[in-house]
Structure 1
């Protein structure tokens, strides 16, 4: 009991007003980092709880991409016997031991956005909320091909700013390349470097622009990579020469898309939608309605022009994606 109370005190909780603590169940929740997507996931889980009339106590942590920090938290909530563990694992491999521990402690596990390697997931995970990453990338590859065909450039050079420490980002790039080269066989990937946060991505994109000053476009595999590439293009006075195709909507991304200068397309999986689906899956697991590993499809959206950027801003005045 002391450990369970310590987890609540340190990591925070959300309960419905007037409910007794934990009377509607308790979920452990891990957010991989502090990007806006995870604020959307949190909001979506809250919305689903309110809509269902059940508001479980949430023990939450931002793991900051640290598998060790994630593991410590999972140890704690496993000992506290939460009803489910909902997480976007930091690593397909390093996160396996902690998730295995939760499973062996009879804690159902729901992944969202990322998960452990499929062979392990099938053993230890009950549900995985996932927008098909190959299709995610392909939608942006199709948008990039459309853009370059409209400008008459049939052999664009493209640099990738990646988040490929997680498998879904590799799959996003594969989908992007397949769709792009299907329309433009002459397209080339001239660089592919990691830069998952905005600060990292700015530095990486500027280094790429130094090495490849004539690059036609960047592909940002995640939100930080996308906006870092946009900022680098602006800082290096490449507006009008180098464009960006990116992932994950945010207020800054929508503003950049609405301006029409650099960002020419964004593919997004709504954090709010994922949060709602993850909360639904956790309730289904708790109720015994999901008894084996299940992939829960999440919707994927393409924002392809300035008007759609403005529409997103109008629909998300709080900036939560």
Structure 2
């Protein structure tokens, strides 16, 4: 978590050089994402498209708008369009294995990014190290709150890989601080600011003395920050998020408001790694089971450098 931005960019360049391979076997790439309204997934898409274009690869992107049935239908359609590899981010836990099975039936390489379906993983899984990163975020906001007080967690979509792992990491920080009392938890469906706002409002009405809130995504944290502002509790509550969305980084760079900390993921690097992995697998190369770009603990002090250049 203490990797510098310059070191991160250097690692990105090395990863791209090391992953360089002929694109002769991949001319068309299918990409299935949960929801392009979320900046996190859009950043991954941008990374895939820009790097695939450099390689002369056509990309077909489908947006499930967080509906698993829609995603399955979209992937069925992708399989009829002659794609040579498949980059897949499940829209939810239910039916998440179906797209992988559809691709395997056609002999198409599957690259999972951010989420992996239970029981049916792809040929590699590219994701940030959610447990330690979430631990660092929660540890930091607990410290900012003086190491004690009532705490709430706003979860992402239940059962998805990041929701499960980020909860595990945050709970470790909570357990290390006996002065912290976890008084409220609620799951969202869309990881969205609107959900973060409404969930945080309900939590604050039930527990007006909450001091710490962890939103498992920046959208949730931004919504919670708005709810805290509306309640007039900005000086009382410390909020942490996750992902390093552009809007969240711009918020943090101002060094004001209750939202104090996030973990910035290397989203565009994930996209480039996914394309290189697809090329390698199509060429018959072995891939590591897991590829883990760093997430960087981000506060108002280092947020401006990520606003200037997102990894």
TM-score (normalizing by structure 1): 0.82
- 1:46 is the counterpart of 2:41: no
Aligned-residue Cα RMSD (Å) equals: 2.0
- 1:188 is the counterpart of 2:177: no
Corresponding residue of 2:236: 241
- Ranges in structure 1 where 5+ consecutive residues have no aligned partner: 1-21
> How many Å separate the matches in 1 of 2:162 and 2:303?
25
Closer/same/farther in 2, CA of residues 62 and 235 from structure 1, 3 Å limit: same
- 1:142 is the counterpart of 2:135: no
How far apart are residue 24 of structure 1 and its match? 5.4
Corresponding residue of 1:74: 75
Contact 2:114–2:161 (CA under 8 A) maintained in structure 1: no
> How many Å separate the matches in 2 of 1:24 and 1:109?
13
TM-score (normalizing by structure 2): 0.85
Larger radius of gyration: 1
Moved more, 65-74 or 35-44: 35-44
> How many Å separate the matches in 2 of 1:198 and 1:154?
27
Contact 1:29–1:59 (CA under 8 A) maintained in structure 2: yes
Corresponding residue of 2:62: 61
Corresponding residue of 1:37: 40
Secondary structure at the aligned position of 1:89 is classed as: coil
Corresponding residue of 1:27: 29
> How many Å separate the matches in 2 of 1:30 and 1:239?
38
> How many Å separate the matches in 2 of 1:255 and 1:101?
40
- Residues 239-268 of structure 1 show CA distances to partners (whole Å, capped at 9, x for unaligned) of 101121111222321232223321111112
The partner residue of 1:294 within 281, 289, 307 is 289
The partner residue of 1:161 within 150, 154, 161 is 154
Secondary structure at the aligned position of 1:79 is classed as: coil
Secondary structure at the aligned position of 1:248 is classed as: coil
- Ranges in structure 2 where 5+ consecutive residues have no aligned partner: 1-23
Contact 1:25–1:56 (CA under 8 A) maintained in structure 2: yes
Secondary structure at the aligned position of 1:247 is classed as: coil
How far apart are residue 102 of structure 1 and its match? 1.3
> How many Å separate the matches in 2 of 1:154 and 1:199?
29
